[in-house]
Amino acid sequence: VHRIDKDTSGLLVVAKDDATHIGLSQQMAVHSVERAYNTIVYGGFAQDEGFVETNLGRSKTDRKKMAVTDKNSKNAVTNYEVLREYRGYSLLKLRLETGRTHQIRVHMAYLGHPIAGDFVYGTPRTKEELALNGQCLHAGLIGFIHPRTNEYVEFTSDLPLYFKKFIGGLTVDE
């Protein structure tokens, strides 16, 4: 029903039949599916919460990448909340209002806070980051109206071990 980027951990929604797929896809199309991610990004934030709203489209210089652009683009909105700050990094909770390819990764890099371990939109800065098995981006919550029962259902997923170990190696900013 939806995808997550390669090297992103967490939850996916898969439909067992066509009717369920159609029902879930319709919810995704109108952005009524609740999705929350956790990420570790470079740097600290002046505000504890905020949002990014830009147009995203294919990069002019690298067709495999997305970029903030007005050409052949679609609106994208990412809300963020700072959960904890570390020396040189911040742990964020992100909620998507839209679901564009590489949206979170592009938005965080656009703000000057690329995701730790993201070799496409960021530059790894430490040996610990180079050793990561993926970027520190985790789809931790998904909620939607079940197409058959019409009841709201919500699923969560704990951070993977590599993500927890990376956080455990960071120094808390006082």
Query: Which of 5, 18, 118, 158 does the annotation list as catalytic?
Result: 5
What is the secondary structure of 57-87 as a DSSP string? EE-SS-TTSEEE-STT-EEEEEEEEEEEEET
CA distance 129 to 133: 9
- Conformation bin of residue 117: beta by default, left when phi > 0, alpha when psi is -120 to 50: left
70 is catalytic: no
Residues annotated as catalytic (active site), given as ranges:
5
